[in-house]
Structure 1
């Protein structure tokens, strides 16, 4: 009898937890499957089109490659040259504008760092000048000692 009650309890517990999926979950699943299948078909068509276009274009590319390859290289080099020269021109122009703003006292971005670096460089130059003067005086004293000892 106890076994029968336990079986009914387990059956009822199992049936309550294993309910049918909601309609919202079913719609989500069907939408995902439909989208996945559609994308798989589109990727297959894209692959097929790519292979067909390569089969058709390969003989044309082989025949015209002595003309197309140097032309493509020249076009690439010309475009790269124009873009680089334009970029360098813009960089030079912005640097000149920054320098003009700095010299005219407008404190453009980064001028504090430049002032700090200039001061540190001036301090180091002053230290080196003092060390050179001390070294020169020390060398002069040694030379005088050597000449006076002889």
Structure 2
């Protein structure tokens, strides 16, 4: 152990880190204050923000006064106002629905017109098969209707003959 002390391994080292720390503290003093652009932003935005805050307060006070004045009027006329509001709301909903249906119908007709303007060659085979199935179904339904009509007519005839004999 005596050799280590003799060779100087336990020496105190002064590191340059302390000098950097002192330099950083000095640099922070010059950077600690706001810059010119920050001061300009604060000077510009402070009056704008203050004005908007004042306008918000005035609007709130005006709304509260208006509500205080209008509440008794609403209470007195609520038997008339509630049905009128419902009627007006339903009428607006009906007009909007009507417009939506109209636009949907017109766009459907436009799409169909453009589809058929492109030519019949564009119609796929499945469309032709669907047309044939619809025509077959219509013919089958017509036959069933005719058979049902004949059945009803024959039963009516039987019922007529049965009442004559009684």
TM-score between both structures, scaled by the size of structure 1: 0.58
Residue 94 (str. 1) matches residue 107 (str. 2): yes
Show the 5 A alignment for 1:11-26: 13-19=24-30, 20-26=33-39
Summarize the Cα distance change of 1:105–1:35 in structure 2 as closer, same or farther, 3 Å threshold: same
Q: Which residue of 2 aligns with 1:29?
A: 42
The equivalent residue for 2:155 is: none
1:58 deviates by: 0.4
Shift in Å at residue 51 of structure 1? 0.8
Partner of 1:143: none
Q: How does 1:54-69 map to 2 (within 5 A)?
A: 54-69=67-82
Q: Which has the larger radius of gyration?
A: 2
Question: For 1:107-126, what aligned pairs fall within 5 Å after superposition?
Answer: 118=126
Alignment of 1:37-76 (within 5 A): 37-76=50-89
Q: Structure 1: which 5+ runs fail to align?
A: 126-150
> What is the number of residues matched between the two proteins?
110
Structure 2 CA distance for aligned equivalents of residues 13 and 103 of structure 1: 80
Return the offset for 1:21.
2.8
Q: Which has the higher contact order (CA 8 A, sep 6+)?
A: 1
TM-aligned CA distance change 1:115 to 1:14, over 3 Å: farther
Whole-angstrom distance in 1 between the partners of 2:124 and 2:88: 45
Q: Is there any run of 5+ residues in structure 2 with no aligned partner, and where? A: 1-13, 134-166
Task: Please state how far the C-alpha of 1:94 moved relative to its aligned partner.
Answer: 1.3
